[in-house]
Amino acid sequence: MIGTGVFTSLGFQLLDIQNPISIMLLWVTGCVLALFGAFSYSEVAVNFPKSGGEYNFTRELYHPSIGFSAGWVSLFAGFAAPVSLASIALGSYLSFIYPVLNKSVIAVVIIVLITVFHLFNNRISSLFQRFFTYIKVIVIILFIISGFLISNSQHLDLAINQTVINDLMNPGFAISLLYVSFAYSGWNASTYVTKEVINPSRNIPLSLFIGTLIVSALYLSLNFVFLYTAPIEDLKGKLEIGIISADFIFGKNGGQIMGGIISLLLISTISSMIFSGPRVLSSMGKDYKMLNFLVEKENSTPKISIIVQSLISILFVLTSTFEKVITYVGFILIIYTMLTVFGVFILRYKKISSSTYKTFGYPITPLVFLIINSWFLYYVIKSKPQEALMGTLFLLTSIIVYFIMNKFNKSKI
């Protein structure tokens, strides 16, 4: 979860909202949505304990065509696009410090190197991922502590007043929530590797809850430190938020060193997406003959799927801008997370829900998740019609591809 969004999105949010408490409420809203989503996903995952995330869930809950579309979306928008965004962010951070470096070249090289690393066995991939995650969390905690200790901090008015209320009613708040939702994306990632998790009925819910709570605490603290240490005018519209804040905390030279460290921390984000995403492709390969080439031996690394996803990520890096990709990704991903969360109501209606785990706060928590995200989607369609149209066309295309695949499957029986 911790990666591109929290180190890049604040600058875009400040273009529409300048009140510090409104910004913090944005991140609290993101925390609530991720946590409420995790409650619902856990019940769905316990009932359908297979790898593949939304591909598996929506296939079982609705129709195979919806499942295929979800898998298609996961490949492009759920993993390949975020890998490209994290790589672009890493490239932007390093090129900000060393202008001679080309951010697109850095992004492509990083994707290739991590892809090669994950072509080894799962144990090596797991150790690599765990190491970088621990380092990332430690560095972020040290960064937060250092930020609170500076003497020349910014004055932040944290009173809830009419300005805050106006911000909450502003369409800009809903659009800014898109960046926050992207930052929290990944809270559902363990459902993509359910089959490889020991005792999934216990550990999938635990991983979703504990992971979301830890990340939420870090995100709220980190964004407060960004606002506490650097003037809003310096942060507004900027991608390299971490470096700007680090300059005020550690001085110019120390800030550049910390900025370089932060950029390297994004390796963990890229690595986790390159590791998790191909499991969806591999699951699809088992169900559709045209995709059989993606299937590997039982419990082996899905090498071909990893390579395919990484090639798509490189294509995103070379052809899209950061802001357009993040809007496009946010719009289409939220549709399938909403379908999965709504699946809890389907399970209860059909009375097929397992007794192992039940959604905490049902039916309030899934309803709140669905209502807030519907409001958010409405404003995305209204304010970003081009990106919303692209996302809709992409979804329709995936349905068409499904029927082609299905026809091919039947012709080979």
Task: Report domain extents, the chain.
Answer: 4-408
Confirm if 26 and 176 have CB atoms less than 8 A apart: yes
| Alpha-carbon gap, residue 405 to 401, rounded angstroms | 6
Per-residue pLDDT of the chain (413 residues; tens, 9 = 90+): 776 678 778 888 888 888 889 889 999 999 999 999 989 998 888 888 777 778 888 888 898 888 888 888 777 777 888 888 888 888 887 887 888 888 889 999 999 998 888 887 667 767 777 787 788 888 889 989 999 998 888 888 777 778 788 878 777 788 788 778 878 877 887 777 767 677 777 888 888 888 889 989 999 999 999 999 999 888 888 878 888 888 898 887 887 787 778 777 788 788 878 877 777 777 777 777 777 776 666 656 677 888 888 998 898 888 866 666 667 677 788 888 999 999 999 999 888 876 678 888 999 999 999 998 898 888 878 877 887 888 788 888 888 888 887 776 665 54
Give the residue carrying structure tokens 């082996």. 300
Both tokens assigned to 272: 């986790």
pLDDT of 342: 95
> Which among 411, 298, 400, 408 is positioned nearest to 72, based on CA atoms?
400
Amino acid at 82: P
| CATH no., domain 4-408 | 1.20.1740.10
Nearest 5°: phi and psi at 12? -70, -35
Nearest-5° angle of CA 69, CA 122, CA 109? 75
pLDDT of 413: 47
pLDDT of 108: 92
pLDDT of 228: 92
Write b or e for each residue in 328-366: b if 16 or more Cβ atoms lie within 10 A of its Cβ, otherwise e: bbbbbbbbbbbbbbbbbbebbeeeebeeebbbbebeebb
Both tokens assigned to 344: 């809890």
User: Does pTM top 0.75 for this prediction?
Assistant: yes
Instruction: Count other Cβ atoms within 10 Å, centred on residue 184.
Output: 24
pLDDT of 322: 64
> Which among 144, 109, 150 is positioned nearest to 249, based on CA atoms?
150
pLDDT of 297: 63
Cα 237 to Cα 18, 44, 240, 352: the distances in Å are 12, 39, 9, 48
pLDDT of 121: 63
Cα 34 to Cα 28, 175, 178: the distances in Å are 10, 17, 13
